[in-house]
Structures are given as structure tokens and as C-alpha cells.
């Protein structure tokens, strides 16, 4: 079953259970996916859907930190609840040791030796860790290893 189909099934379940937060969040996710499909005029695969969901989580984390800085804990909690719902559709996150192992293997695979090769490493890693790790944190780890 594709990720879009899973989202639609979960939306129906949330309607039946009258879970307003979950229902609203899933509807937002489906709307974002549909918008990209309309803009690109193609049906998205699971990898592309994961990229959209990952972007949604990142946006909500940014909003949550801004709400916390503005002393608005009730709005930050709304964002946290939405993050929790979206993350149920993302693959399980990688541990730090798994990330380090994948980075080391990729550096060897592409033959990276210095910072000029960072783009090659990031490109090779992206599909493997998409939705399972924060790409900015991975970039920092790669920088540290390629110095």
C-alpha cells in the first residue's frame, strides 16, 4: 500500500474516531501532497511524499521554536501535536551510530577526500536517509569527517 493510500485510510479512521487533531493534520498533509501533484502534473511516489512530510515536520519545528521564544506554549503544543501525527507516517529515524556508519560507507563509496567532495557525499546519502534523519545534522557530520 502506498503512503498516500495509508494517509487516506488513516484519515477515514480519524474521522470515525472523531480525532480532530489527527484528522486535520492528515488533511493538511494530503492537501500539500495534492498541491505538489497539481503543480508538477505527476503522481508522486513514496519517496517524494516522504520528502513533503519531512518538510512539513521541519516547518512545524521552526514554528514551535518561535512560539516558545514568544512565550506562547499553547501554540507550540499545537505544532508538537501535528509533528507527532506526521511522524507516524515517516520511516523510523536512524540512530547516531547508524548515521555514522552510513556516512563512512558513503565517503568510501564515492571516494571523497576533502570538502570539495561534500556535494557528492550528500547526493549519494540523500535517498538513503531521506525522512529518517535531519539533513542539516548530516551535513555537519560530513563536514567534520572531510576536514
pTM, two decimal places: 0.78
User: Rounded distance, CA 61 to CA 120, Å?
Assistant: 28
Q: Which CATH entry fits the domain spanning 96-146: 3.20.20.140, 3.40.50.620, 1.10.260.40, 1.10.10.410?
A: 1.10.10.410
User: Rounded distance, CA 40 to CA 141, Å?
Assistant: 33
17-21, 43-47, 94-98, 134-138 — which is least confidently predicted? 134-138
Q: What is the pLDDT of residues 58-115, one digit of tens each?
A: 999 999 999 999 999 999 999 999 999 999 999 888 888 999 899 999 989 988 888 8
Domain spanning 3-87: CATH 3.40.640.10: no
Amino acid at each position: 500500500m502506498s503512503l498516500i493510500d495509508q494517509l487516506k485510510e488513516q484519515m477515514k479512521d480519524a474521522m470515525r474516531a472523531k480525532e480532530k487533531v489527527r484528522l486535520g493534520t492528515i488533511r493538511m498533509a494530503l492537501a500539500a501532497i495534492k498541491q505538489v501533484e497539481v503543480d508538477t502534473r505527476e503522481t508522486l511516489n513514496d519517496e517524494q511524499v516522504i520528502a513533503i512530510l519531512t518538510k512539513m515536520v521541519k516547518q512545524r519545528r521552526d514554528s514551535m521554536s518561535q512560539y516558545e521564544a514568544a512565550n506562547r506554549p499553547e501554540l507550540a503544543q499545537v505544532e508538537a501535536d501535528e509533528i507527532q501525527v506526521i511522524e507516524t507516517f515517516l520511516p523510523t529515524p536512524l540512530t547516531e551510530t547508524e548515521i555514522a556508519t552510513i556516512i563512512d560507507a558513503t565517503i568510501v563509496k564515492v571516494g571523497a577526500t576533502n570538502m570539495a567532495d561534500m556535494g557528492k557525499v550528500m547526493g549519494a546519502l540523500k535517498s538513503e536517509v531521506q525522512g529518517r534523519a535531519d539533513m542539516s545534522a548530516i551535513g555537519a557530520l560530513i563536514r567534520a569527517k572531510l576536514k
